Amino acid sequence: MSRESLIEMTRHNMSHSKAGTVAQAESVMSFPASHYYDEDRWKAEMDGVFRRMPLMMAFSCEIPNNRDYRACEAAGVPIIICRDDNGEVQAYMNMCAHRGSQILEEGHGNTHRFTCPYHAWSFNLQGELTGVFSEKEFGSFDKSCYGLKKLPALERAGLIWVTPNPESTLDIHTFLSGYDEMLAHFNFESWHLFSRRTLVGPNWKIAYDGYLDLYHLPILHKDTFGPNYPHKSMYYPWGPHQRVSSPDPSLLEWEDLPESQWDTNRMISGVWTIFPHISIAGFDGGGRGVMISQLFPGETPGTSITVQNYLMENQPTEAQAEEAEKQFAFLKHVVEDEDYYTGLRQQHALETGFKKDVLFGRNEEGGQRFHGWVNKILDTADEDLNALFEKG
C-alpha cells in the first residue's frame, strides 16, 4: 500500500516534469503576523500544540536493547523514554512520585530500575514504585497509586513519538494518519545516530516555515547549496504531515521501466516533515544519511531550539566519518548562518508590530497547510482531537 503511494507520487511528479508545470495551492493566503510574536498566541501554541500533540522525540537506534533509556525534555516537560523487559517502548515523566524531584539527568543509560537521587525511591521499567527507603518510618500508603506518570508513546518506522501530557487521550497512531508507513521505507531501525547538535533560532514557526519552503533556496542559499536545487515545490499531505518534493525530470527515464523496478530509495528523496516540528532531509556525505531536525519553542515567543540529528544508514569508516563531519558542519553553517540568521532578523522586524499579515503564495502550499493545521488544532477541544485526525 505505501509503495503504491510512492509510485502514485512519482507518477504525479513525472506528469508535472513532462508538462513543465507544478502543483499549486488554490490561492495566495495571509496569516496574522502577530502569530509569530504575540505572547498569548505563543502560550496557546505551547499548551495547545506542543503539550497536546505527539512529538517525535527519539530514535529506536538510541535505545536498541531492553532496559536502555534516554532522559530528555519535550517542550519543557522532563521525560524518560525506555525499552522495557519485553522490548516495548515506554515513556514517563521524569518526576518522582514522592515529591517530584527529577530522577534522571539528561542522557542515555541502561538500568533495571530508576532510583530518585533525593530519597532513593525506586521504580521499575513499568513505572511502578518498587522501593521506598526507610519504609517503616515513612509510614503506610497505597504504593500502587504512586508510580511514575505514564506518557502516551509509540514506536514506528524506527522513530519514537511521545505526547508530553499524561492526560492525553489522543491516539498517536491516529495522529500519524498513515504517514508512519511511508517513513518506514527508510528502515531507520537499523540506522546509526552519528552526531547531534543544538542551534538557537527564531520563533518556532518562522524556523519551521523554512523547512517547508523551497522557494527561498536559490536566493537565500545562493552562496551555498541553493543554485544546485530546484525551488519549485510540490507537497503531499498525510493529515498534518507533509512530504516536500520538486518536479524531477530525471524520473522520466523510468517511463518505460516496469514500476516494480522503480528504486524505492530514489522515490523517497526530498524532505519529509512531521507535524508539528520535524524535518527529515536526505544527503550523501560519507555514505547515505539524513539530517533530522527537531524544533522546540524556546523560552520566549521570539526564540526556538533546534536539535539537529545526523543519522547514517551504515556505521561509517574513519574516512567516511570525516567526510560526514564536513557535511554536517556545512549543514549547520547553512541553517545557522543563513536560515536562522535571516529568521532572527525577520523576527526582530515583525516584532515592531507594523506588519499586520504575512503571505504564503500558491507555490507555498506547505506553509499554508501547516499554519492552517496549527489554527485547526488550537480550535479543537481535547475530546475531539482523535476525530480531527481521523477526518484528515
Q: Which is nearer to ligand FES, 116 or 278 (CB)?
A: 116
Any contact of residue 124 with ligand FES (CB under 6 A)?
no
38: left (phi over 0), alpha (psi -120 to 50) or beta: beta
Q: Are the beta carbons of 230 and 237 closer than 8 angstroms? A: no
Nearer to Fe ion, 210 or 366 (CB): 210
The residue range among 115-123, 174-182, 201-209, 365-373 that interacts with ligand FES, by the rule CB under 6 A, is 115-123
HSE-CB for 156 with a 13 A CA cutoff: 21
Closest CA to 231 of 246, 212, 210, 209: 246
The interface region with ligand FES, picked from 97-105, 276-284, 294-302, 322-330 by CB under 6 A, is 97-105
Tell me: does residue 71 bind ligand FES (CB under 6 A): no
The only residue of 339, 340, 370, 373 in contact with Fe ion, by rule CB under 5 A: 339
Smallest separation, CB 176 to Fe ion (Å) = 26
Residue 130, exposed/middle/buried by CB under 10 A (0-12, 13-18, 19+)? middle
Residue 185 binds which entry of Fe ion, ligand FES, none, with Cβ cut-offs from 5 to 8 Å by kind? none
Residue 118 contact partner, candidates ligand FES, Fe ion, none, CB within 5 to 8 A by sort of partner: ligand FES
Alpha-carbon distance values, 384 to 163, 169, 379, 380 (Å): 16, 10, 10, 6
The binder of ligand FES chosen from 31, 92, 121, 373 (CB under 6 A) = 121
User: Closest CB to Fe ion among 224 and 380?
Assistant: 224
Binders of Fe ion among residues 180 to 219 (CB under 5 A) are 210
DSSP letters, 274-329, are: ETTTEEEEEEESSSEEEEEEEEEE-SSTT-EEEEEEEEESS---HHHHHHHHHHHH
Residue closest to 287 by CA, chosen among 311, 308, 262, 307: 311
Question: Which triple of cell numbers denotes residue 210?
Answer: 523554512
Instruction: Indicate whether 102 belongs to the interface with ligand FES (CB under 6 A).
Output: no
Task: Find which of ligand FES, Fe ion, none residue 101 binds, CB within 5 to 8 Å per kind.
Answer: ligand FES
99 binds, among Fe ion, ligand FES, none (CB under 5 to 8 A by kind): ligand FES
Piece in contact with Fe ion (CB under 5 A), picked from 54-62, 122-130, 276-284, 332-340: 332-340
Q: Does 96 participate in binding ligand FES (rule CB under 6 A)?
A: yes
Check binding of 98 to ligand FES (CB under 6 A): yes
Q: Does residue 113 touch ligand FES according to CB under 6 A?
A: no
Stretch that binds ligand FES, among 71-79, 94-102, 186-194, 344-352 (CB under 6 A): 94-102
Quote the cell numbers at residue 271: 524532505
Main-chain phi, psi angles of 328, to 5 degrees: -70, -40
Q: Which option in Fe ion, ligand FES, none does residue 71 bind, with CB closer than 5 to 8 A by kind?
A: none
Smallest gap from residue 151 Cβ to ligand FES (A): 18
121 binds, among ligand FES, Fe ion, none (CB under 5 to 8 A by kind): ligand FES
For residue 165, which of 236, 266, 95, 239 has the smallest C-alpha distance? Answer: 95
**Residue 386 binds ligand FES (CB under 6 A):** no
386's contact among Fe ion, ligand FES, none, with CB below 5 to 8 A by partner kind, is none
| 364 binds Fe ion per the rule CB under 5 A | no
Beta-carbon neighbour count of residue 333 at 10 Å? 11
Give the position of cell 503531499. 236
Q: Least distance (Å) from ligand FES to the CB of residue 116?
A: 3
Nearest-angstrom CA–CA distance, 201 and 128: 39
Report the distance separating Cα 372 and Cα 369, nearest Å: 5
Q: Hey, is 246 helix, strand or coil?
A: coil
339 binds, among ligand FES, Fe ion, none (CB under 5 to 8 A by kind): Fe ion
The site for ligand FES (CB under 6 A) is made up of 96, 98-99, 101, 116, 118-119, 121
